[in-house]
Structure 1
């Protein structure tokens, strides 16, 4: 491969990434229905046809954004018998959520009212999180336990992010962590 062809590939990769970054930002601020391909193209400085070339439809681009935002769940790393304690400690005492995870949540919240976007969100969340988590949990009722544990983790995490912390004393945080760990472990073990 010549130098010129290599340069075009790098530019293509950089352009594709720029489109993905701008789409992520736009979807997180405005939601699926209020963002157009022309808006994204204008922000990147490319022709809208280039977005179609790289991603297909707006829905396909949204799907790629959701995949990137949901990728890399490490919940299942580590001993199963330690899941509740490990995850509760991370939720209560860990650093604030990574920007990409919060961006994904914002995109979901702002876009869930859209028929097209809600279907993409449903597929992505199953493919990237609930499906693998349910499989890891196994029978019986792995899918049900995955939904319950996911809802509990998401709810407590969102509450922490929204309020800037739990606004609890050190002792209350310890109680919260213990009770959350017990509830999560119960869902894992049953």
Structure 2
């Protein structure tokens, strides 16, 4: 009887698909920047996470800064905060922040921003992204006097509560306490956006 020889087959590789490769790189970069910030993430690690050659990252995105900008451009759309009337903004947004479990992806982008904030290379792209994707549209929606200041204040409150919620989902409060928090947060947010 002849003995069968075991042949080790190569691991399956990613099929050639430019859109899928680009998305895999973006996903890997998103996770690396959220975990390690701009300075801590390397293009080699991002490429390894995406299971591509490091040269492909440069081919698709150019530099690390350009990849970072593209990751920031993929942040969840916050325009739903600016739908509805100004008079119900506080109630609507407090409920979204405290009750909507789909805010987790937005928290990852907050982590990217926080972990990259001390980087000199990331500072300008972060500022530009915040203005373009959040503060400017928010201020335009608010309109009226001091719209920029009101948008900044409300945005800062929203980010702070979202970060707190990421740490402690229920804010260490019972149901009655969470209802009280929602009501008070609604009042504070409403006061922040009123002219």
108, 115, 123: which one pairs with 1:103? 108
TM-score, normalization by structure 2: 0.85
Give the CA deviation at 1:147: 0.7
| Residues in 1 aligned to 2:27 and 2:102: alpha-carbon distance in whole angstroms | 21
Which range moved further: 15-24 or 41-50?
A: 41-50
Please list the CA deviations of residues 136-157 of structure 1 after superposition, one character each: whole Å capped at 9, or x if unmatched.
1112111100111011111122
What stretches of structure 2 of length at least 5 have no aligned partner?
1-15
Q: Determine if the alignment matches structure 1 residue 136 to structure 2 residue 144.
A: no
Q: Determine if the alignment matches structure 1 residue 120 to structure 2 residue 128.
A: no
| Closer, same or farther: CA 46–160 of 1 in aligned 2, 3 Å | closer
| Residues in 1 aligned to 2:120 and 2:100: alpha-carbon distance in whole angstroms | 35
The aligned counterpart of 2:175 is 170
| Residues in 1 aligned to 2:183 and 2:66: alpha-carbon distance in whole angstroms | 42
Please list the CA deviations of residues 159-190 of structure 1 after superposition, one character each: whole Å capped at 9, or x if unmatched.
12212311223322222222211221122221
Please list the CA deviations of residues 77-122 of structure 1 after superposition, one character each: whole Å capped at 9, or x if unmatched.
1222211111112223332623x21211111111111111122111
Q: Determine if the alignment matches structure 1 residue 49 to structure 2 residue 60.
A: no
| Closer, same or farther: CA 178–42 of 1 in aligned 2, 3 Å | closer
Which structure would you say has the larger Rg? 2
77, 81, 87: which one pairs with 1:71? 77
Query: What is the root-mean-square deviation in Å for CA atoms of aligned residues?
Result: 1.7
TM-score, normalization by structure 1: 0.87
Are the aligned partners of 1:70 and 1:128 in contact in 2 as well (CA < 8 Å)? no
Please list the CA deviations of residues 1-55 of structure 1 after superposition, one character each: whole Å capped at 9, or x if unmatched.
xxxxxxxxx7011111111011111111111112222222233233323222211
Q: Determine if the alignment matches structure 1 residue 153 to structure 2 residue 178.
A: no
| Residues in 2 aligned to 1:40 and 1:156: alpha-carbon distance in whole angstroms | 30
What stretches of structure 1 of length at least 5 have no aligned partner?
1-9
The aligned counterpart of 1:59 is 65
| Residues in 2 aligned to 1:42 and 1:180: alpha-carbon distance in whole angstroms | 43
